[in-house]
Amino acid sequence: MAAQNIATEAHRRRTFAIISHPDAGKTTVTEKLLLYGGAIQLAGTVKGRKSDRHATSDWMELEKERGISVTSSVMQFPYRDEVVNLLDTPGHADFSEDTYRTLTAVDSALMVIDAAKGVEERTVKLMDVCRLRTTPIMTFMNKLDREGRDPMDLMDEVERILKIRCAPVTWPIGMGKRFRGVFHLLDNRVHLYEAHHKGGIQQGEVIEGLDNARLDEVLGDQADELRDEVELLQEAGNAFDEAAYLAGELTPVFFGSAINNFGLQELLDRFVQHAPSPQPRESEDRAVQPEEAQLSGFVFKIQANMDPNHRDRIAFMRICSGAFERGMKLRHARIGKDVRIANAITFLASDRDHVETAYPGDIIGLHNHGTIQIGDTFTQGETLKFAGIPNFAPELFRRAVLKDPMRMKALQKGLVELCEEGASQLFRPLTNNDLIVGAVGALQFDVVAFRLKNEYGVDCQFEPVGVTTARWVYSDDEKRLAQFRDRQAENLAEDVSGALAYIAPSRVNLQLTEERWPDIEFRATREH
Ligand code: G4P
């Protein structure tokens, strides 16, 4: 593939994910973005509406949806001259470590906030993950058609809690019953809001300039209110600054109502203009440039396929450089083997298709019979290992208990294999024979139990266990580490990779232990 072509195609890519708290409007925003991208004709077709989702502690239901969820894990659509890749971040009951790790495979993120609720707990966590790689963030304040909080307060809260400066790009005119539209601070235009959109794209009236007399005609008193607010913003607020946005220090803020298709087009226009295209990516030896001729990529997620009888899994690989073409041979760098990739999957929105060509920023799905692990690198021959695709410390822990003790071997095998997919983790304490599974979302325990039964013929239950959080422990001082291992053995475990983890009975205990062992490092992530 001509290098010029690779550079051009890479430059057109915008690969991002949405971070939000459940119910803030991620699904609705996704749907509308697909609508603007021409990927769907009418909104209302994206799977996983709330009515389905909340009942999904039943893994059977999820099982039925598996095929679909592979497809909607990545949605690709063209917008203007760019190609947008939107990576799904599972959010409700299906929240898991995959959600975190997906954020290591994007170049930027869109934060969706419910304007009535402000910054919520899940958003804070996801933002922390974005910080690991200083990911640029755009913000959409959603649900302005309802009474919400004062827009200034909302921005203050984002600045205070998330420690990022806010620069409004659009500004709301009223809210709830008085919501009339937004003023675009960079384009100096007012976009008027219409509530009845019937699922299509909104094309309300646009008024040029704040001084336009038409504004007073349409908005009445609200016109002067708007002028005052904008004056205040221009004097005291942050102006949009692309460099600060790209450095993760400032977030451009847009206001709107996703359900009414309002305010998102302004965001999408600016998104394709300013959001970063694929950036150079660090490997253990060197930084890999997207426009390099040779293909490279890393696996950030593994998902079980539809048919459990085949144990077929799809490995999601993000392309970092070069171009992928069907039938090409790739080097699986960790095991040093070459494999021919005949049937990779691509993710054109609403359709799962076989990939012909894919470029940096794109995601492809590789069929995997158990040899591919999260964090694995693929190349065209170079021995390379991409960095920054970690495991995250689980937040929930349970002990696996067998119904039939004779099935111990099968249980261990099943747990190891399922945990290798990466949505849950296995810890084996140093001082007893417990099998402790850790996860970021509670549904993962149901998933593991169901799949153990279905795929490994093992009946197992998950019971509470006295572990609150885990930290991987490191030290350059081997003697000291050995001492630590000795004295703290009761609270230590090995994970699937054999790495040593401190499994803390409580946060307080963790804190005290950290204070007592200042030369031991306690890390909340572990690199593969
Ligand atoms: P999520 O994926 O972040 O969890 O949120 P989702 O889009 O499912 O939206 C959560 C709820 O908020 C949904 O209502 C959705 O219709 C509503 N919503 C999204 N955007 C807006 C908006 O701009 N204004 C208003 N007023 N509501 C909005 P639901 O009744 O809980 O579910 P559903 O039956 O509509 O699916």
- Residue 439's pLDDT is 94
Which protein residue has the closest C-alpha to ligand 1 atom 29? Answer: 50
Mutate to test the pocket of ligand 1, among 23, 45, 126, 141 (most ligand atoms within 8 A of CB): 23
Kindly tell me if the per-residue pLDDT of 55 is higher than 50: no
Between the CA of 11 and the centroid of ligand 1 the distance, in Å, is 33
Cα–chain center distance at 80: 24
Q: Give tens-digit pLDDT for 361-380.
A: 999 999 887 789 899 999 99
17-68+109-274 architecture in CATH? 3-Layer(aba) Sandwich (3.40)
Is the alpha carbon torsion for 443, 140, 68, 12 positive or negative? negative
CA nearest ligand 1 atom 9, residue? 25
How does residue 73 score in pLDDT terms, banded at 50, 70 and 90?
confident
Q: What was the pLDDT predicted at 425?
A: 95
- Distance from Cα 440 to the centre of ligand 1, integer Å: 24
In ligand 1, which atom is closest to the CA atom of 29? 7
Which residue, judged by its Cα, is nearest atom 6 of ligand 1? 25
Grade residue 257 by pLDDT with cuts at 50, 70 and 90.
very high
Q: Nearest 5 degrees, angle CA 241-CA 242-CA 247? A: 105
Q: Ligand 1 mean position to 116 CA, how many Å?
A: 13
As a whole number of angstroms, the distance between CA 362 and CA 84 comes to 9
Interval between CA 351 and ligand 1 midpoint (Å):
24
Mean pLDDT, residues 22-44 taken together: 81
Mutation test residue for ligand 1: of 21, 259, 265, the one with most atoms within 8 Å of CB? 259
Pairwise CA distance, residues 80 & 94, whole Å: 33
Smallest CA separation from ligand 1 atom 31, residue: 50
Distance 264 CA to ligand 1 centre (A): 15
Q: Give the pLDDT score at 468.
A: 96
| pLDDT at residue 162 greater than cutoff 50 | yes
Q: What pLDDT is attached to residue 311?
A: 62
The residues near 521 (Cβ < 8 Å, ≥ 6 apart) are 473, 474, 475
Mean pLDDT value of segment 165-185: 97
Q: How many Cα neighbours within 13 Å face the side chain of 55?
A: 7
CA atoms within 13 A on the CB side of 373: 18
Look at 194-208, 223-237, 353-367 and tell me which has the smallest mean pLDDT: 194-208
Say how far apart CA 182 and CA 263 lie, in whole Å.
7
Shortest-distance Cα residue to atom 33 of ligand 1: 50
Prediction ipTM score: 0.97
Residue 119 confidence class, pLDDT cut points 50, 70, 90: very high
What's the confidence (pLDDT) of residue 40? Answer: 64
How many whole angstroms separate alpha carbon 109 and alpha carbon 393? 22
Which atom of ligand 1 is least distant from the CA of 256? Answer: 23
pLDDT in tens, 395-448: 999 999 998 889 999 999 999 988 888 889 999 999 999 999 999 988 889 889
Architecture of the 280-377 domain: 3-Layer(aba) Sandwich (3.40)
pLDDT at residue number 260: 92
Residue 200: pLDDT above 70? no
Number of the ligand 1 atom closest to the C-alpha atom of 260: 23
Atom of ligand 1 nearest to the CA of 24: 3
Q: Which of 50, 193, 194 to mutate to test the pocket of ligand 1 (most atoms within 8 A of CB)?
A: 50
> How far is the centre of ligand 1, averaged over its atoms, from the C-alpha of 53 (Å)?
12
* 168 C-alpha to ligand 1 centroid (Å): 23
**Quick one: what percent of the chain has pLDDT higher than 70?**
89
Query: Which pLDDT does position 67 carry in this prediction?
Result: 46
Nearest-CA residue for ligand 1 atom 26 is 143
**Span 314-329, mean pLDDT?**
93
Q: Which residues contact 365 (CB under 8 A, 6 or more apart)?
A: 70, 314, 315, 316, 317, 344, 345, 346, 347
Which residues sit with their C-beta closer than 6 Å to ligand 1? 20, 22-28, 49-51, 91, 142-143, 145-146, 257-260
Q: How confident is the model at residue 25 (pLDDT cuts 50, 70, 90)?
A: very high
In the chain, the percentage of residues whose pLDDT exceeds 90 is 72
DSSP string, 341-391: --S-EE-BTT--EE-SEE-TT-EEEEEESS---TT-EEESS----B---EE
Specify the residue with its C-alpha closest to ligand 1, atom 11. Answer: 23
Q: Which is the CATH superfamily of the domain at 392-525?
A: Peptide chain release factor 3, domain III (3.30.70.3280)
Confidence (pLDDT) at 54: 40
Q: What's the 63 CA to ligand 1 centre distance in angstroms?
A: 24
**pLDDT of the residue at 68:** 46
User: Residue 92 CA: which ligand 1 atom is closest?
Assistant: 4
Q: Which of 258, 212, 253, 213 is nearest to 233 (CA)?
A: 253
Q: Where exactly are the structural domains of the chain?
A: 17-68+109-274, 280-377, 392-525
Nearest CA to ligand 1 atom 21: 259
- 442-464, pLDDT tens digit by residue? 888 988 998 899 889 999 999 99
Same fold, 17-68+109-274 and 280-377: yes
Nearest CA to ligand 1 atom 19: 25
Angle at which helices 443-456 and 59-71 pack, to 10 degrees?
A: 90
Q: What is the mean pLDDT of the chain?
A: 89
**53-62, 207-216, 344-353, 466-475, range with the lowest pLDDT:** 53-62
Identify the residue with better confidence: 2 or 60: 2
Q: Is the pLDDT confidence value at 522 over 80?
A: yes
pLDDT score, position 342: 77
Is residue 90 very low, low, confident or very high in pLDDT (cuts 50, 70, 90)?
Answer: confident
Mean pLDDT of 149-158: 97
DSSP state of 331: E
Q: What is the mean pLDDT of residues 187-215?
A: 85
The string of DSSP letters for 287-299 reads: EEPTT-SS-EEEE
Nearest-atom number in ligand 1 for the CA of 30 is 7
Greater confidence (341 vs 471) lies with 471
Please name the residue whose Cα sits nearest to atom 16 of ligand 1: 259
Task: Provide the 3-class DSSP secondary structure of residue 227.
Answer: helix
Q: How far is the CA of 104 from the centre of ligand 1 (A)?
A: 27
Q: What is the pLDDT of residue 266?
A: 95
| Residue 41, both tokens | 């004709």
3-state secondary structure 466-520: CCCEEEEEECCCHHHHHHHHHHCHHHEEEECCCCEEEEECCHHHHHHHHHHCCCC
Q: Whose CA is nearest to atom 24 of ligand 1?
A: 143
Give residue 144 CA to ligand 1 midpoint distance, Å.
12
The answer on pLDDT for 56 being more than 60 is no
The whole-number pLDDT of residue 341 equals 85
Ligand 1 center–CA 47 separation, angstroms: 13
